[in-house]
Each structure stands twice: as C-alpha cells, then as structure tokens.
Amino acid sequence: MVNYIDYSEEVKKAKNENRPIVALESTIISHGMPYPKNIETALMCEDIIRKNNAVPATIAVIDGRLKAGLTQEEIEYLAKAKGILKMSRRDLPAVVAQKQDGAATVAATMIIAHLAGIKVFATGGIGGVHKNASYTFDISADLQELAKTSVAVVCAGVKSILDIGLTLEYLETMGVPVLGYRTEKFPAFYTDDSGYAVDYTVNDAKHAADIINAKWNLGLQGGVVVANPIPKEYSMDKDYIDNVIKEAIKDADKLGVKGKKITPFLLDKIKELTSGESLAANVKLVLNNSTVAAKIAYEL
C-alpha cells in the first residue's frame, strides 16, 4: 500500500504508537455542506476526536494519492475547489490512475480506512435503499461495502430521504449487525426515532467494542453499523421533516435529478425548506458521532 497511501504526520505517529484512530469522510466537506460551514464542521470533528483520546484521519484522494489524514490546507482545498469528484468504490481505480481529486463517500472511506488499518469511522448518515428503488434500482454502494469491509461505522442512522425499512432489510440480508448506541430505536438522521428497531442495544463504548471485536475475531468479515441518535435537544419533529423530505423528493423527480447528484440536491433543498434548521441538526449529529466513534476506537 505504500505505493498508494499517504499518512498525515499525526496519523503516522498514532499508527507507530498503536493509538486509536477514527476515520472521517470528505464528501461532507465537498458536497454535504456549504462553505464555510463545511470547513468549520470538519475541523470541529477532528478536534472532538482528539479531545476523546483518539486521532482523526479525514479520508480523501488528492492527485491520485489515497490520503489517511488531511492537513488543514487540504481540507480547505476540498471545501473550496469546484469539480471535486464524489467518489465511491467504482471510482477509486480511475481517480487513482488518472491522478485526480476525489472526496470519499461512506463506501470509499471504508475501503481506504481498511487499507490503512483504521477500524472505526464516524459519519453523518450512511446511504441506503432509495424510496423509488423498486423501479430505479437506486441502492447505495455503502450497503455492499458494509457487507464486505471490516470497519465499524458510527452514524445517526440513514438519511431520512431513504426507505429506512428496506435499508434495514438489506443490511439484515448482508449480515451487517445494527447496534443502537443507548437506544432500542433506529434513528433517522434528523430525528432520533425512525419507528424501526435496532438489532441490539449497546450501553456504552466498551459494550459496542466487545461486539465489534467478537465479530472480527470469529472471522466474520464486514462492517458494523453503530446507530447513534442525534441528541434529543436537536432532534427535529418527525412529521415536519417527513413532509419536507416528500416535497424535496417531488422537486428532484420533476427536475430528473438522479444518481450521485440526488443526495446533495435533496440535502440542499431540505436546508432551504427548513430555513437552515436541518443543516444545524446535521452539524450537531456528526459531532456527536465523532465523540462516540473516538470512545469506541479507544476501547478497541
């Protein structure tokens, strides 16, 4: 991997000292949030991981090099530059070979984290089965990645724009455990209760780490979803956000928005329709996930 991966000095030192490391995705910087909120949030996530006894490794590809850990200048570049590719598993070979720049989705972050020996990853929400997947076949590559790549993903559930029931069915079929961090309910990104249950509730980071460790020690490859609800005080009203999402999806259908463009379009539309409330919730939940991921990485 030395031919492909560059480690930041902080991550390299942590690896040499066998310290806990937490991966962070970069699409939230290039595609998920507007400037300058994207830079502010990325740096706050890194800081909160450090404050919880772990080392952050924001993941991306720059000039064809897999990056496990970014400098502040590299984060600012991803936040400001136009045309950064939103990169999943299928894109990695071309981006690397053509020496391009790519922001890592959940799937790509898991791959690069695994190659770099990083076991825990904090994100906002994972991708899943889209609401109209019965005729579009639009299912996120994140789910297949969770089935095959051994990284624990701490998230606030799946984005509420998705079909949560079908997403959980897919994860069950792929043998991916869904752990609820101090909750019996699977969260729905902006809200702390989707109406669906998790597979197992974990009481704290040690409990989560024990289950994750047991899975991999048994030779059961693949990821684990640690569903960590948005803090109660920032959770949005379920009926309100559901109606907003329906309106955003209608707009996407009218405009024919599909594929990689659908999630950034919907998140931006939801932000507009909620007058920025959804963006504020997004920041709070990703910081919360970073805290929990650092604690789990420490226990592992």
pLDDT at residue 216, rounded to an integer: 98
Peptide bond into 36 cis (omega under 30): yes
25 is catalytic: yes
Query: Treating both helix axes as pointing N-terminal to C-terminal, what angle do 72-80 and 37-51 enclose, rounded to 10 degrees?
Result: 150
pLDDT at residue 149, rounded to an integer: 98
Tens-place pLDDT, residues 28-63: 999 989 899 999 999 999 999 999 999 999 999 999
- CA 213 to chain CA centroid, Å, is 21
Percent of the chain with pLDDT over 90: 83
Tens-place pLDDT, residues 146-163: 999 999 999 999 977 899
Tens-place pLDDT, residues 166-199: 999 999 999 999 999 999 999 999 999 999 999 9
- Of 86, 119, 159, 185, the catalytic one is 159
Residue 240 burial (CB count, 10 A): 13
Residue 254 burial (CB count, 10 A): 8
H or E element that contains 67: strand 65-68
Which residues, in sequence order, are bridge partners of residue 201?
Answer: 180
> What domains are defined for the chain?
5-299 (3.40.1790.10)
Measured CA to CA, the distance from residue 127 to residue 257 in angstroms comes to 17
Confidence grade of residue 3 (pLDDT, cut at 50, 70, 90): confident
Instruction: Please determine, for residue 67, whether its predicted confidence score (pLDDT) is greater than 90.
Output: yes
Three-class secondary structure assignment of 218-280: CCCCCCEEEECCCCHHHCCCHHHHHHHHHHHHHHHHHHCCCHHHHHHHHHHHHHHHCCCHHHH
159 is catalytic: yes
Q: Which of 97-111, 121-135, 260-274 has the lowest mean pLDDT?
A: 260-274
Tell me which residue of 166, 167, 85 sits closest to 126, measured CA to CA.
Answer: 167
Mean pLDDT of 72-82: 96
Confidence grade of residue 211 (pLDDT, cut at 50, 70, 90): very high
- Which region holds residue 53: left if phi is over 0, alpha if psi is between -120 and 50, else beta? left
